[in-house]
Amino acid sequence: MKKFLRISAALAALAVSAISCTDRTQVLKVYNWSDYIAEDVLEDFEQWYEAQTGEKIKVIYQTFDVNESMLSKIEIGHEDFDVVCPSDYIIERMLNTGDLLPLDFAEIPDSINYIKMNRAPYIEGMFRSINPDIDANDYSVAYMWGTTGIIYNKKYVTPEEASTWNVIRNPKFANKVLIKDAPRDVYAPVLIYLKQAELAAGNTTLASLMRDSSDESIAAVKDYLLSVVKNGVYGWEADFGKEDLTKDRAWVSLNWSGDAVWAIDEAKNVGVDLDYIVPEEGSTVWFDGWVIPKYAKNVKAATYFIDFMCRPDIAIRNMDETGYVAANGAREVLESQIDEEYEPIDLTYFFGEGADSIRVNPVLYPDAKVIARCALEHDWGQDTEKLLTMWQEVKGAE
């Protein structure tokens, strides 16, 4: 895996002012997660766009680390990003608040309509489940997907210790624990952990926990997280945590599967043995998707950009460099990941018939059994504020 394309907000702002005299139809403003695209893909898009349309385009690329900060730039700041990559529950919120434009691919010739050619039914089904009244597939195209779990250093932590969320407050790993600075993605596993007896007794379901924003549950998760802080955390991280793991500074990380793939791979090169597990109590499955916010100024280029991201060779490059898994159902994508070193797993849920015994990295593509204990997060509307307040209080308690 190579170094990521990092364009700082300051640089991007400079670029914007430098081209401020340029016609806005020649500018595409992309707002994506950091460490989430392969190098040179943006330049390739500029060339491809010109070849397809005869028009020049300059991509202005900005990044974010936290869903909620990205959202506030659009919800409150009304920034004119043309294409943005929020997570599932944020897409749900943007649909509910009317902040998204419907996608229209009619102008894109069939021969290059990569979205149509490579849809993954599993992901489309998840999108459809977001909102019973509006089909999210009409407003968004998934980019990457994965699970939330525990990355651990095999020298210090056993698979048994890592297979419960409670590993984050295990005294053996005090001050060696990294927590993703992503309030919803930490809240969900902690709540699942706290409610495991009720889940086992059938008194609640993972799906209903994903909508649980009650004061009682927020307070219970807060207490738990305060005990984690008391035990000792190494840090709350956005993207730098991968390096703390590969350099042996942290041993346990509550993290996303894509960061795990990247970190495991990098660590191998320096003799550090990491692994990733989705704890037994259950977890979240998530996806991030491209959307066009209602303040967009270049819908045409945004639409072509989304299409280009679905071209299988581009999806493969993005996967190989970031560690994340493209939400792309193309056979070519699956074949690019097959590796005889892995045990066969059942991927029919994603690639359909004939994919019941595929040798791929199970961190990238979880086996159907893992997926069965994962659920999708949902928007909390106004209650999100309560969570963000709790999150600041917990982090401030360090």
Q: Which residues bind ligand N2P (CB under 6 A)?
A: 33-36, 87, 239, 256, 258, 286, 288
Comparison of 262 and 304: residue with beta carbon closer to ligand N2P: 262
Helix (H, G, I), strand (E, B) or coil at 143: strand
Answer for the pair 180, 241: CB distance below 8 angstroms, yes or no: yes
Shortest reach from residue 51's CB to ligand N2P, in Å? 29
Comparison of 144 and 334: residue with beta carbon closer to ligand N2P: 144
Shortest reach from residue 186's CB to ligand N2P, in Å? 13
Answer for the pair 81, 74: CB distance below 8 angstroms, yes or no: yes
Comparison of 258 and 312: residue with beta carbon closer to ligand N2P: 258
Comparison of 145 and 224: residue with beta carbon closer to ligand N2P: 145
Report the DSSP beta bridge partners of residue 33.
64
Shortest reach from residue 291's CB to ligand N2P, in Å? 14
Shortest reach from residue 377's CB to ligand N2P, in Å? 10
Q: What is the dihedral of CA 251, 255, 258, 260, to 10 degrees?
A: 10
Q: Which residue type, as a one-letter code, is found at position 336?
A: S
Comparison of 36 and 127: residue with beta carbon closer to ligand N2P: 36
Shortest reach from residue 197's CB to ligand N2P, in Å? 29
Comparison of 91 and 334: residue with beta carbon closer to ligand N2P: 91
Comparison of 34 and 217: residue with beta carbon closer to ligand N2P: 34
Residue nearest to ligand N2P (CB): 33
Shortest reach from residue 300's CB to ligand N2P, in Å? 27
Comparison of 72 and 227: residue with beta carbon closer to ligand N2P: 72
| Token duo for residue 142 | 């998934």
C-alpha distances in angstroms, 62 versus 1, 9, 78, 131? 22, 6, 15, 29
Comparison of 49 and 244: residue with beta carbon closer to ligand N2P: 244
312 backbone dihedrals φ, ψ, rounded to 5°: -55, -40
Shortest reach from residue 283's CB to ligand N2P, in Å? 13
Q: How far apart (Å, rounded) are the C-alpha atoms in residues 291 and 341?
A: 37
Shortest reach from residue 68's CB to ligand N2P, in Å? 12
Report the DSSP beta bridge partners of residue 253.
151, 178
- 18 CB-contact burial (10 Å; exposed 0-12 / middle 13-18 / buried 19+): exposed
Shortest reach from residue 35's CB to ligand N2P, in Å? 4
Contacting residues for 249 by C-beta, under 8 A, at least 6 apart: 234
Answer for the pair 210, 378: CB distance below 8 angstroms, yes or no: yes
What end-to-end distance do the CA atoms of the chain give, in Å? 34
Give the ranges where the chain is alpha helix by DSSP (H).
9-18, 41-53, 67-75, 88-96, 114-117, 121-130, 159-162, 183-194, 196-200, 206-209, 215-231, 241-246, 257-269, 299-309, 312-322, 331-337, 348-351, 368-371, 384-396
Comparison of 57 and 278: residue with beta carbon closer to ligand N2P: 278
Shortest reach from residue 121's CB to ligand N2P, in Å? 21
What b/e readout covers 379-397, taking b as 16+ CB neighbours within 10 angstroms? bbeeebeebeebbeebeee
